[in-house]
Amino acid sequence: MPFGVGHAILAGRWVLIVLHSRGVTSLLKIATGAAAIGVILTSAGAASVVVGGPISVLATQVATPLVRGWPIIASALAVLFRFSHDRVWQNPVSHAAAGLLFAEAMIAGFWLAAAVFPPGS
């Protein structure tokens, strides 16, 4: 799995948790879109490395921080954006804990997968 796809999954899940806590009805579509943007950013970074040339260095330098920061950027946008179905925040502490636990579980899952199936095996 490419390195940035994990960030895309994390962005989609964090956006889903934020929107769920706000009571937004179309949360699955928006969270899937956030994950898709993360995959597009990852693909663009990978394509710039493969294509090569002088512009690829600049493209890689721009894409790498965007891919790594996309979960935080997407979550912040989900917090700041106003939705028509927006309600009062419900249990923000439990939703924040769920987001952190998901990130920890994802890291642990990637670590376990690398231990069981080492790279190159």
Q: Kindly tell me if the per-residue pLDDT of 1 is higher than 60.
A: no
What pTM was estimated for this model as a whole?
0.77
CA distance 116 to 71: 27
What is the C-alpha separation between 67 and 43, in angstroms, rounded?
10
**pLDDT digits over 2-33, tens only?**
567 888 999 999 999 888 888 888 889 999 99
Is there a contact between 64 and 38 (Cβ–Cβ < 8 Å)?
no
pLDDT digits (tens, 9 = 90+) for 28-71: 999 999 999 999 988 888 888 888 788 888 888 888 888 889 99
